[in-house]
Structure 1
Amino acid sequence: MDTRKIILSIIGLVLIIAAIFGAKAIIDSNVKEKPKVSKIVKNVFVDTVQNGVVPITVPANGSVTALRKLELFAEVQGIFQSSSHDFRPGQRYRRGEILLNIDSREYAASVQSAKSDLYNSITAIMPDLRLDYPEAFPKWEN
């Protein structure tokens, strides 16, 4: 063998052994000490409780919707009259209290007028009924 190859292999072995010892020295030097646990004393403040009424306030913004809605329909026509309360959403009424008043006299007069117009129309058509439909004339006359 060549002397050069022998010298290079010896140097390689020395380097590998040096690397192993160096790594072992670095690992041994990296030992962490456990910190001592320090005792912490916390102060606790004590207060005597007085039972009483605590007001609850809930700040809120937005629109309010009714929990129980009621739809009201007027089955008569007429003039709306004012009552003791304003008729608006959210208004409270007690049991038996009048919600609103509607004056139906004007509507009753218009119904009477329509009835009168019907009678006038029937009266105007009676002579034609007598000539065209003589068998139906007694019913309409009654």
Structure 2
Amino acid sequence: MDQESIVYGCIKDVTSLYSEAERRHANRKALLMLPTSDEWPYLSQEMFSIPQLEPGPDNYQTEVVHFGASYKAIEYEWKNWVEKFELLLSNMYWVSAVVHLETELSGVHTFTWLCEDDCHIPGMDASKVHCEWSREHALI
């Protein structure tokens, strides 16, 4: 049996900061710029909930873009996946992002990106972003 890895999480943006229309447009554009198919490791439009330009009744104060995908042993290419994810984040407005990586051999890992300012602005210096990770458990 192949090693399956599950990647899922969300990107959060507080709607009260900056122009809501500008943020929605920029975030939607960044997600639509993702390919519908990609070279390994995959990071594509299909794995993301792409926000509508008009806010819906399901959002209160925080815009949430959730995502998820199943991969064959993505942990061996994790550095490349994270680089693609961080490139996506660099083109979006957001305040935090969380990625969960569930692997059959090494357990569950959680990666968290936190903006040290009020909000990450597209093109902002990445040095103001704090990323941490934790390992929740491992299979023995």
Q: TM-score range by the shorter chain?
A: under 0.3
Higher helix share: 1
The TM-score normalised by the length of structure 1 is 0.21
More strand by share: 2
TM-score, normalising length from structure 2? 0.21
Q: Which has the larger radius of gyration?
A: 1
